[in-house]
Amino acid sequence: MVHLSALLMIVAMACVFLFSRSGCSSFATSIEFETSSRSRGEIPLEIHKIYNDWHQCINDKLLPVMADPKKLWSFFGESIETCRQETALDKLNLTEHSNNEEIKYHIHNNTDITPSVVVTLGVGRNILAEQQLKKLLPQGSLFFGADPIYEGNDQLYSSIGTFFPIAVSNETKMSQAYVLKKGGYVYQTVVHIDVITFLAKLTETPFIDQFLMDNEGPEYDIIPMMGVNDEFDKNGLVACQINVEFHAYNNFHERFVFVLKKLLDDRRYAILKASHETHYRVFMLNFEHAKCVEKYIMHYFV
């Protein structure tokens, strides 16, 4: 497997100091991939109906409390579970992959032998879920992990894929991140690479089968970038399945409302799971991109 630590740090620092605040993402603007708008017409009508039924259910439950961010946060998980169980989405087989701290979900397709791409933002010295995925996914599947803490993550993640010793967020910058060290979580100033550059230039993975995000805060900025006609679309990037942890700090109630409104307005992702302790661990599935639908949804319904 690949060890990129020293070289990547030099590249990352160069990006921070040589380019504008928008960061290295400008490199990716020249990439021309198929946008999601071209793939919408390829989705069977039955799949559209299944998604619309779920969307109507979740709207009916959450819109009345959307103006109260704290109440929304409290009602969210129960509403997601109810709407999954009361609609056809309950037919989807969600496989649980536990890392002893939390559960990651993945929808497997045992008839598709195409190698998958798994991206982890925030390794946190724990790859049990990724190791389980590696055993079950098709041979040749690729794993990419990023975490600003080198010690305890590099050797671990490099046993299954490629490790990047950087923080990934919405922009390239030097900034504080909430990172896991031996003594626990602490704030530390680290290099951040914008997610567009990370996916388009470093991992070179325009199509992501499973996106695992536990990077302590940037999720509130990155998830909206996956919306219709936003940064992921403009750079030809697609994520089919997403496990993301929404963390409970930094005005999180209001930020969560913004993210949820955008997800519902875009009508791209269905939210299938939402477990709540201190934070919300959420599993989402792309119902709009034709390749995602064909690979992970269609065989359950058509």
CA atoms within 13 A on the CB side of 290: 11
pLDDT tens for the chain, residues 1 to 302: 545 554 455 455 545 443 443 444 443 333 333 444 444 448 999 999 999 999 999 999 999 999 999 999 999 999 999 999 999 999 999 999 998 888 999 999 999 999 999 999 999 999 999 999 999 999 999 999 999 989 999 999 999 999 999 999 999 877 666 666 666 777 777 788 999 999 999 999 999 999 999 987 789 999 999 999 999 999 999 999 999 999 887 788 999 999 999 999 999 999 999 998 888 999 999 999 999 999 999 999 98
pLDDT at 13: 53
pLDDT for res 267: 98
- What lies within 8 Å, CB to CB, of 219 at 6+ separation is 213, 244, 245, 246, 247
Q: How far apart are CA 203 and CA 226, in angstroms?
A: 17
Q: What pLDDT shows up at residue 178?
A: 62
Among residues 82, 122, 91, the alpha carbon closest in space to that of 244 is found at: 122
Q: Which of 16, 62, 43 is nearest to 274 (CA)?
A: 62
- pLDDT (0 to 100) of residue 18: 39
Q: Which helix (H) or strand (E) holds 180?
A: strand 173-181
For residue 298, give the amino acid letter.
M
Record the pTM: 0.86
